[in-house]
Amino acid sequence: MSQITMYGAEWCGDCRRSKKFLDANNVAYNYIDVEADESASEKVIEINGGQRSIPVIIFEDGTHMTEPSDADLKAKLESLSIL
């Protein structure tokens, strides 16, 4: 099972799109709502160098993507042999 964490919020269109992509491809991930968890919001700001851009998706290899397109997310998951 993959160790993917996604930081997002329900109001965020890009977050909903990324969740839909992961769900449609049966990719397991932990979802953390930055609105419900202040420390998660702080983590997003830290990762993004002061910006609160979401979604932030952290992968098992320690890398992350912020606001990835579906094509970029697919390519990353393929590179990790998840897709």
Domain of 20 in residue numbering reads as: 5-79
- Cis, peptide link before residue 55, omega less than 30° from 0: yes
**28 pLDDT tier (thresholds 50, 70, 90):** very high
pTM above 0.75, yes or no: yes
Question: Which ranges of the chain does DSSP label H, i.e. alpha helix?
Answer: 13-24, 38-47, 70-79
**7-24 residue pLDDT tens:** 999 999 999 999 999 999
CATH of the domain at 13: 3.40.30.10
Return the pLDDT at 12.
96
Residue given tokens 């109001």 in the structure block:
11
The 10s digit of each residue's pLDDT in 42-58 is: 999 999 999 999 999 99
Domains of the chain: total: 1
Length of the chain: 83
